[in-house]
Amino acid sequence: MRYEAPKTTKEAATFLKKEKGAAFILAGGTDLLVKMKLGLSEPDLVVDIKKIPAMNAISHSATGSKIGGAVSGAELGEHKGLCKTWPGVVEATNLIGSDQIQSRATMVGNLCNASPAADSVPAMIAAGAKAIVVGSTKRRTVPIEKIVTGPGQTSLADDEVIEAITLPKRGKKAGDAYLRFIPRTEMDIAVVSAGVNLTLERGVVKTARICLGAVAPTAILVPAAAKAIIGTKLDDEALEKLAAACSAACNPIDDKRGTIEYRVRVAGVLAKRAAKIAFQRAGGV
Amino acid sequence: MSSVLVSTTINGDPIEFACPPEETLLDSLRDRVGLTGVKEGCGTGDCGSCSVTLDGRLMCSCLVLSAEVEGRQVGTVEGMVENGQLHPLQESFIDNAALQCGICTPGFLIAANALLERNPSPTEKEIRYALAGNLCRCTGYDKIVRAVQVASKEMRKKSKKTKKK
């Protein structure tokens, strides 16, 4: 195995393009090193992206915020501005693993590992986040929901790296939230999860995005659930419609951690609760 | 296979070693540097026995490649002893019988120290959450939590005294 730590994203993409064997990106290593240990991945090349300045930065502009691909969960949680503007995204990311894991794990790694139960992904999709994808010859910006195509599968080309995640600019009357169900209080993988992001106008929901995790091969955006609450003050009737739309959108597996019936039902319950938190954070009453 | 040369700082001392690029920091610390306080439990980031600090941040050394620590600061349990004096957390673990077999203990000490550095007076709940990444199959955790509570009190008393001086 070769280890490379390039200084620019383009260099990283070029290393990936030139490698004939198995090449992997190393950010926090909380998935890659586990797979290497278990013999599930045998890299010929590991490209460490943590020496790339753009990967380590959190920045803000007129269009929103940008979080580098190597920013750890701990660094995200310590960023007061993002905790205030996108609490749901930060909380979702901070739910991943222990403090030890938080020191290393990244949102982009969570995304590219492509687990259907990844915690940060439904929150990012609900937020309308985008990925800045850098290849050896071109750059493109891709909505997060277009990155994961199935369990362990992404739409990225062999020479592409995600340099950063962008979050849109935030108005005052806006809020987001993420909830997951696990049978313990810490250190577990979501059985069902829900991310909700909404904005208000005169106390009424103006826009909404609702995304579910762990109930389908990928995280799923549920436009019907958003439609159920747009134009409402999140009254009980709207919440019931939201829950029904979420349950209807589920296509989960049956496993030891949750049955199909259970996951379908809990998806609606969690979406309702997350919507209430997001509504409150947006200043709704 | 070509190896990588790593120059790093471990517990304040400059250290150089060569290792294969796929070697973890855990293996280098134990087998090349001779710091066997760091333990391998699971090797997959679940148990926290191999906890170290890297530039002050708590992490599992089994999930770090040695090549990554070039030019950085590594802290292990061996670095908690100062001038031959055990750290208050170590004293408290002994006094409160917070260990039995001892395999998980270095990891718990490093994690507890990382917690107290950022939060000198944690609640029981905060201690339990902060130590959720460390597994112990002997104690049932209560004595570990108590030992951290006692140590945090002692350390606060000491820091007050030194401030007065």
Contacts of A30 in chain B (CB under 8 A): 45, 63
- By 3-state DSSP, what share of chain B in percent is helix, strand and coil, each rounded to 5? 40, 20, 40
Could you give the number of structural domains in chain A? 2
| B60 interaction partners in chain A (CB closer than 8 Å) | 100-101, 104
Among A28, A36, A97, the residue with its CB nearest the CB of B22 is A36
Q: Which has the closest alpha carbon to B14: B94, B72, B58?
A: B72
Of A34, A38, A100, the CB nearest to B59: A100
A154 and A183 co-located in one domain: no
Considering the domain architecture, whether residues A136 and A213 belong to the same structural domain is answered as no
Where would I find the H helices in B12-123? Answer: 25-31, 88-95, 105-118
Q: Which of A100, A133, A168 is the last residue of a domain?
A: A168
Q: Is B4 touching A (CB cutoff 8 A)?
A: yes
A222 closest CA partner among A285, A166, A272: A272
How far is the CA of B50 from the CAs of A41, A109, B149, in angstroms? 22, 22, 23
Do residues A25 and A144 share a domain? yes
Strand duo A148-150 + A153-154: pairing: antiparallel
Alpha-carbon gap, residue A215 to A252, rounded angstroms: 4
CA atoms within 13 A on the CB side of B45: 29
Note down the domain range covering A63. 2-49+56-168
The answer to whether residue B129 neighbours chain A at the CB level (below 8 Å) is: yes
What residue in B sits closest to A39 (Cα-Cα)?
B44
The CATH code of the domain that includes A36 is 3.30.465.10
Mean pLDDT of B67-80: 98
Global confidence as pTM: 0.96
| Per-residue pLDDT at A263 | 98
Same domain, A198 and A151: no
Torsion angle (degrees, nearest 10) of CA A38, B1, B62, B8: -170
Same domain? For A85 and A201 the reply is no
Which pLDDT score is estimated for B1? Answer: 60
Max CA separation in chain B (angstroms): 58
A197 and A113 in a single domain? The answer is no
- What's the pLDDT score for residue A184? 87
The answer on A164 and A178 residing in a single domain is no
Mean pLDDT over B71-86 rounds to 97
**What pLDDT was estimated at residue A227?**
98
Inform me whether the pLDDT recorded for B165 exceeds 80: no
- Shared domain for A164 and A183, answered yes or no, is no
State the Cα–Cα distance between residues B109 and B102, nearest whole angstrom: 11
Predicted local distance difference test score (pLDDT) of residue B2: 85
Domain final residue, candidates A137, A168, A199: A168
**Which domains occur in chain B, in start order?**
4-79 (3.10.20.30), 88-160 (1.10.150.120)
| Same domain, residue pair A66 and A17 | yes
Q: B65, A50: Cβ pair inside 8 Å?
A: no
Note whether A224 and A155 are same-domain residues.
Answer: no
Cβ–Cβ < 8 Å for A6, A47: yes
Instruction: Please report which helix (H) or strand (E) contains residue B74, including its range.
Output: strand B73-75
**What sign does the dihedral A79-A132-A113-A104 (CA atoms) show?**
negative
Minimal-distance CA residue of chain A relative to B25:
A33
Give the neighbor-by-neighbor strand order of the sheet with A192-201.
Answer: A174-181, A192-201, A204-213, A220-221
What letter represents residue B9's amino acid?
Answer: T
Beta carbons of B132 and A99 less than 8 Å apart: yes
Helix (H, G, I), strand (E, B) or coil at B157: helix
What is B130-142 written as a DSSP string?
HTTT---SSS-SH
pLDDT of residue A23: 98
| Beta-carbon-side half-sphere exposure of residue A269 (alpha carbons within 13 Å) | 10
Are residues A69 and A133 both part of a single domain? Answer: yes
Cα distance from B62 to chain A (closest Cα, Å)?
8
ipTM reported for the complex, 2 dp: 0.95
Do A155 and A187 lie in a common domain? no
Rounded Cα gap, residues B98 and B134, in angstroms: 13
End of a domain among A168, A187, A222? Answer: A168
Q: Residue A236 is part of a domain; what is its CATH number? A: 3.30.390.50
Average pLDDT, 10 consecutive residues per value, chain A (285 residues): 98 98 98 97 98 98 97 98 97 97 98 98 98 97 98 98 98 96 90 98 98 98 98 98 98 94 98 98 96
Dist. CA B126–CA B118, nearest whole Å: 12
Q: Residue B118 has which token pair?
A: 């950022």
